[in-house]
Structure 1
Amino acid sequence: MRLWLLAACLIALPASAEVFTYIDAQGNRVFTDQPGSGNAKRVPLATSNRMSANPTGAAPVIAEKRTETKPLFRYDMLRVLVPEPDATIRSSAGELIVSITSEPGLQRGHRYRLLLDGQPTAEPGSSPVFALSNIDRGSHNLSVEILDEHGRIVERTANQPFHMLRISLAQKRQVKPCALTDYGQRPECPLKDKPIEPKNPFLRFF
């Protein structure tokens, strides 16, 4: 049988059909999709590498997922309550208590962060009160930030100046001299500096 007839038979058959071959009574080789004759043999077919124009089994193209973040929450007010702007703080140890407030109050997942001269003073937290110590004498600036759960800055105040006046112990003694009862009670009045009390002259007769 001619090759073009064989090709025509194979093209006409469905992709999933089986092909059989046998020799008819005239000695011709016949190809068919029906087993028919008892001596018909199945012809093995190679797997096709052709794809249809619109494959139904192709994996769907998944669009890249975009991370959606909530818009930043806005506060009506955020400011430093204590110390007041341009305040002078007197402390021998350079200590300062800072109090802040916001309106509305701190939202869930948000945190306050206090900055001294542009640098964070501690880890952000929910407390509106900060205790600072050992601040150098001179002028400084305070500012406050509110961070959301993603670490983004939601609100920030402008720089608020204050002045630290660190009084020495000697200066404190000049302002308020140490009395006998102050020694051991006031830092500027240590016991080692307590003067020796004069003895009562009448006690030597006893």
Structure 2
Amino acid sequence: MYRPLFCLLLCLTGLPAQAGVYTYIDADGNRVFTDQPPSERAERIEMAPSNSMNGVEVSRPPVSLTLEEPKPPAYQLLRILIPEPDATIIDQAGNLIVTATSEPGLLPEHNFRLIMDGQPVGQPGRSPVFPLQNIDRGTHQLSVEILDAGGRIVERTPSQPVHIKRISLAQKRQANPCKKADYGVRPECPLKDKPAEPKDIPLVPFI
């Protein structure tokens, strides 16, 4: 008897909150539950509110699946024009001019910097020409960098060797002997080494 009654109560709890639930005793003495009161003698049953919750819509930012394309490098080319790789430079004073080029040209706020034997030479600047003086004889490694405004390396050439030979003045004079017009002009032909010119001997009349 109680099992049908319990099932009926479960069903009635599923009714909307606005619908009323009534109970009364019928003519046979049985308790009846209904949502339509048959007479004034039916009693209304207050139902506990349902614990169901309406779904809350949560707004989420759209997720973009588009992958950013990698930015192309700022420079397509950076190389040393002068000297050529593995060049031999013969200079008594050890002077050398290094020249670089880039494509495209140097961008605003970027600077060139020369690296020799792994160490920066001078200060970064806009000029791609680097005059060097008094370089020790022997083999040296050269490379050129491009730096941004923060001093970070943007591009760098591979290191390339250059061979410096410094000959003495005597060797230069031996390779290219000094002429009369060279004295005082060529470093290896100082005026003090200029040979004395022969003096004219006056002619004595023969008697």
**TM bucket normalised to smaller:** 0.5 to 0.7
Which runs of structure 2 are paired with 1:32-111 in the superposition (5 Å)? 74-111=74-111
Alignment of 1:114-193 (within 5 A): 114-193=114-193
- Any gaps of 5 or more consecutive residues in structure 2? 1-70
Cα distance, 1:74 vs structure 2: 2.6
**TM-score scaled to structure 2, two decimals?**
0.62
The share of aligned pairs that are identical, in percent, is 64
CA distance in 2, matches of 1:111, 1:204: 78
Give the aligned partner of residue 43 of structure 1. none
Structure 1 residues 156, 113: CA separation in 2 closer, same or farther (over 3 Å shift)? same
CA contact (8 A) 1:77 1:104 kept: yes
- Relative to structure 1, the CA distance from residue 198 to residue 156 in structure 2 (aligned partners, 3 Å threshold; closer, same or farther) is same
2:113 partner letter? R
Contact 1:82–1:98 under 8 Å retained in 2: yes
Q: Which runs of 5+ in 1 are unaligned?
A: 1-70
SS in 1 for 2:163: strand
Residues 120 and 203 (structure 1), Cα distance of their counterparts in 2 relative to 1, 3 Å cut: farther
Matched letter for residue 91 of structure 1: D
Distance 1:204 1:162 in 2: 65
Match of residue 5 from structure 1? none
Change (3 A) 1:73 1:176: same
Residue 64 of structure 1: aligned partner: none
1:203–1:113 CA distance, 2 compared to 1 (3 A): farther
What's 1:7 paired with? none
Shift in CA distance, 203/91, structure 1 to aligned 2, threshold 3 Å: farther
Structure 1 residue matching 2:145: 3-state secondary structure: strand
SS in 2 for 1:121: strand
User: CA-atom RMSD, angstroms?
Assistant: 1.8
CA distance in 1, matches of 2:90, 2:154: 33
State the aligned residue count.
135
Q: What is the Cα deviation at residue 75 of structure 1?
A: 1.1
Residue aligning to 1:37: none
Which residue of structure 2 aligns with residue 194 of structure 1? 194
Q: Deviation string for 1:48-95 (max 9, x for gaps)?
A: xxxxxxxxxxxxxxxxxxxxxxx8953111100000000000100000
Q: Deviations over 1:175-206 (max 9, x none)?
A: 0111121110110000111111111113789x
Partners of 1:204 and 1:138 in 2: CA distance: 62
1:147-189 deviation digits (Å, cap 9, x = unpaired): 0001111011111101001111000000011112111011000
Instruction: Point out the structure with max Rg over C-alpha.
Output: 2
1:26 maps to none
With normalisation by structure 1, the TM-score equals 0.62
How many angstroms apart in 2 are the aligned matches of 1:89 and 1:129?
A: 17
